[in-house]
Structures are given as structure tokens and as C-alpha cells.
Amino acid sequence: MGVGSGGGGAKKIDLHQAVEAKLALCTALSHLANGNYAKATQDFLQPMSAAALAPWTGTIVSVGDIAVYATLCALATLGRAELKSKVIESEGLAGEGEGMKELLDAWMASNFRAVLGLLERYSVSAPTQRPSPRRLFFTR
């Protein structure tokens, strides 16, 4: 009766956690794309580890990107007490990534000049020129 019940259970739990993490990520990205930042924050703050998302790392999304999205959504939607308990003191991906701890520290210290400087430093600029419709439709 006890044969095979030892290692198999741990593997199922890991698979279950990985599936839940991927579903939470997909839902969070969907909310983010639709501009629903409060719901995106809730989903980004679900238990989600880099290990659970490993098969997607580098192919669909990077762990660093998830950390940035989660941190920025949390800053936009959570009060200071929630930010401290759900992001700063948690073990999730929010707050991880290049510059995110520094950004959270500046936010919590009400050093908004530093916050703006950090956002500027780590922002990625979108291309300023769009292709003209003439180029899109009349190429030879």
C-alpha cells in the first residue's frame, strides 16, 4: 500500500504549483494588458517562483520582467502598509529584479525625486517613429 506513495506525491505538488503559477501569470498579464492594474497586482502577488516558471523563462517571459510588472502594479495600486506586507516582506517575485528594491525603498521613504530618477533610468523607450502607411502597403 505504501509503495510508490513517497516521491510521486511531491512531484504532483510541484506540477500543481507550476500550473497555478503559470495560470496566475497569464491572468495577471491579461489584466495588465487591459489596464486593470488592481487585478493584475492581485495575480502577480500569487505564489509564483522562478522555479515554477522555469520552462517559460527566456521563451515566453523572463522572471525579471515579471518582477518589474509586479512591482510597478503594486506601487500603482497598493497603500504603504499593503506594499510593505505583500511585496517588501514577502518572498514573491515582486520587488526582485534590477533596481526594484531600490525603487521600493525610495517609495517607502517618500523620496519621489529618486523614484522618478529610477523609473527614468530603468525605462525602455518605445520607438518614436511609426512606419508610414505608404511604406506598409506600397512596398516593391
- Please write the tens of the pLDDT for every residue from 71-81: 999 999 999 99
Q: From the CB of residue 23, how many other CB atoms can be counted at a distance below 10 Å?
A: 13
**Full residue range of the structural domain in which residue 18 is found:** 9-123
pTM of the model: 0.73
> What is the share, in percent, of the chain residues with pLDDT greater than 70?
78
Does 132 have pLDDT greater than 70?
no
Could you tell me if residue 26 is inside a domain?
yes
Q: Is residue 4 part of a domain?
A: no
Give Cβ neighbours of residue 99 (< 8 Å, ≥ 6 apart): 118, 121, 122
Query: H or E stretch including 42?
Result: helix 37-44
pLDDT of 58 > 90? The answer is no
* Domain-located, residue 19: yes
Is 139 a member of any domain?
no
pLDDT category, 12, cuts 50, 70, 90? Answer: very low
**What CA–CA distance (Å, rounded) separates 91 from 87?**
8
Q: Is residue 130 part of a domain?
A: no
Q: What are the Cα distances from residue 97, in Å, to 7, 25, 27, 104, 116?
A: 33, 16, 21, 11, 17
76-85, 93-102, 119-128: segment of lowest average pLDDT: 119-128
Kindly state whether residue 133 falls inside one of the protein's structural domains. Answer: no
Number of domains in the chain: 1
